[in-house]
Amino acid sequence: MRIITRLLIASVIAGIGSLNVLAAEADVKDWPAIEKAAVGQTVYFNAWGGSENINAYLEWVAAEMRERHDVTVTQVKLDDTGSAVAKVVAEKAAGRNEGGSVDLIWINGENFVSMKQQGLLLSPGWATSLPNWQYVDVENQPTILADFTEPTEGLESPWGGAKMVFFYDSARTDQNDLPDDTAQLLDWAKRNPGRFSYPAPPDFIGSSFLKQVLHEVTADPAKLAGPVDEATFDADVEPLFAYLDELHEVSWRSGKAFPQNYPDMKQKLADGELDIIFAFNPAEASASVRAGELPETIRSFTFPGGTLGNTHFVAIPYNANAKAGALLTANFLISPEAQLRKQDPMYWGDPTVLSMEKLPEADRAAFQSLDLGVATLPPGELGPVIAEPHASWMDRIETEWRRRYASGN
């Protein structure tokens, strides 16, 4: 899934001033008033619609919101999150500062940064004022407070976690021979030519691999937390492309072709063409085993020094028509009940944003009793999170990748 997209709409939003508005009807500090104002509202939840299990989960959310609060949640299924953001941009340009068509957006990364900079979001602080915020794990999940290094400032509410995890077939690959970092992965690929690859950028999973490598090989990882410095960009990324030059020589099809996306990589692992693949959801392998797409011998591993991770969020546009209903929905999405169901691989398998230490004992026990699946690492074994670089790095790296390698596709 590619929640993060590019917004090539700068010319549309140029010159439009900031307008963060929190309507009186949706004063988040007065929760009883929120619940009253939300009755009968319809919340148009713009969310990626490319996964049947995620869509089914949102249908459950809608049923719960209808029963509990008399709020109708309608999923507007997106192929590209940027299309929902573009709606808000167009409405603001037209002066439609109330009664907007988008009430809630599943978002993170570049789209969040763009909306924040252009004043397209509900006023700061609403997310941290939600009643269920008390359970959110801000202490151990730093990406909740900084989305691609951009401070969230309560402008978006965390919904789930994502972390790069590698998969292999234990029937074919020796566990003792697995790499501990990207340097060892290159060595492994040289010993096992043709058995590793990654999707070509701008595929989200492929671009994530580039960022993982960049973080490990760059001379100054702290530099990635800020915008790209065009004066030093070539020198900053040269270690990345030197690494890729070596990797491609021993990759699947010698780096002359690349898997289309994660499902394509997964099929190649199942068919025995690849021996190590990776995804951005620790539960993905178990879900594929359960669905019969991968054999039961599939297992997971990460790098002890850390792998790329982020948090995905929901945000409310400044001109949302159903602000109260959107706030109520966002609060429900971070309730222990909703987060438990979301982490259950029977329904989704998406890692929770809640702190086990903050939960009531019964909820904590319910999380601990979840069967995460045969190929899913326990949360304590996922290793440290490497934060996403500043959003500007993705565009520049992908452009440079295409310049160097696209002719080989």
CA–CA distance, 285 with 375 (Å, rounded to integer): 6
Per-residue confidence (pLDDT) for residue 23, from 0 to 100? 40
Band of the pLDDT at 1, cuts 50, 70, 90? very low
Band of the pLDDT at 50, cuts 50, 70, 90? confident
Say if residue 152's pLDDT is above 80: yes
Element (H, E) at 400: helix 392-405
Say if residue 319's pLDDT is above 90: yes
Domain ranges of the chain: 10-161+311-372, 165-308+388-408
Average pLDDT for residues 269-292, to the nearest whole number?
93
CA–CA distance, 132 with 97 (Å, rounded to integer): 28
Per-residue confidence (pLDDT) for residue 204, from 0 to 100? 85
Q: Are 212 and 308 in contact (CB under 8 A)?
A: yes
Could you read off the pLDDT of 194-210 as tens digits, one per residue?
A: 999 999 998 889 999 99
Average pLDDT for residues 160-178, to the nearest whole number?
95
Please state which of the ranges 52-56, 114-118, 134-138, 264-268 shows the lowest mean pLDDT. Answer: 52-56
**Cα distances (Å, whole numbers) of residue 321 to 41, 98, 101, 316, 317:** 9, 6, 7, 10, 9
Cis peptide before 202 (omega within 30 of 0): yes
CA–CA distance, 328 with 28 (Å, rounded to integer): 9
Say if residue 260's pLDDT is above 50: yes
Q: Are 76 and 46 in contact (CB under 8 A)?
A: yes
Q: Determine the straight-line distance between the first and last CA of the chain, rounded to whole angstroms.
A: 21
Share of the chain above pLDDT 70, in %: 93
CA–CA distance, 259 with 354 (Å, rounded to integer): 34
Per-residue confidence (pLDDT) for residue 20, from 0 to 100? 38
CA-based torsion, 142, 148, 151, 154: positive or negative: negative
3-state SS, residue 181: coil
CA–CA distance, 245 with 64 (Å, rounded to integer): 51
Per-residue confidence (pLDDT) for residue 3, from 0 to 100? 40
Say if residue 21's pLDDT is above 90: no
Could you read off the pLDDT of 343-401 as tens digits, one per residue?
A: 998 899 899 999 999 999 999 999 999 999 999 998 878 888 898 999 899 889 999 99
Q: The whole model's pTM is what?
A: 0.80
**What superfamily does domain 10-161+311-372 belong to in CATH?**
Periplasmic binding protein-like II (3.40.190.10)
CA-based angle 386:108:264, to the nearest 5?
Answer: 75
Q: Enumerate residues 6+ apart whose C-beta is below 8 A from 142.
A: 385, 387
Say if residue 299's pLDDT is above 50: yes
CA-based angle 175:179:185, to the nearest 5?
Answer: 135
Q: For the chain, what percentages of helix, strand and coil (3-state, to nearest 5) are there?
A: 45, 15, 40
Mean pLDDT across the chain: 91
Per-residue confidence (pLDDT) for residue 12, from 0 to 100? 35
**What superfamily does domain 165-308+388-408 belong to in CATH?**
Periplasmic binding protein-like II (3.40.190.10)
Element (H, E) at 82: helix 81-93
Per-residue confidence (pLDDT) for residue 345, from 0 to 100? 86
Per-residue confidence (pLDDT) for residue 19, from 0 to 100? 35
10-161+311-372 and 165-308+388-408 have identical folds:
yes
